[in-house]
Chain A
């Protein structure tokens, strides 16, 4: 059973490593790397499911009787190129975040967001009593 299911267990290990990197690391680029790891492990899962013992690549030739399943190949081929396009979009978001916040560590970004939230709250609190005074005068 170990030999039969080895591929699947390694894929699960790679998936969990990718998930751990996304959850536990604060650097945004490290998170994107973890996401790429996760994505490629799913590709490995599909392709290892498509393999047939004794089969060859699904290109028709006269002297071959057994072919590997071509359907997962098709799905993963487009998935790889779509994956790089979405990774490029994520990286451009990271570039914009770095320009706005000055850092790509999640803690720094959260800290700056909380600070700006507190500042906007204190501004609202300081303008609210002025409005009530004007209402009392009017």
Chain B
């Protein structure tokens, strides 16, 4: 039983760290503001959620468990809101997303964001 708990917690922590690392790599490699924001959102929501679930599995007392649950709920509420507000602010101020079609990409090269 002990070993099951330890392994599952370690797996969750590992997946969470891997997702955070993916978010970091995505921030550097994605071409556009909106795609980069998606990468940051992955870190914020799923990465931290997996890490918190991993910590919840090996939590030592009921109070610690409840506090971690509350942090998880807060993170799930705030993360997507932050991404939404960022995207809305960028669109409102005229930052156009980089679209996929070739002639539209050529048209948008003059007005799209610079990395």
Direct contact between the two chains A and B in their complex (CB within 8 A): no
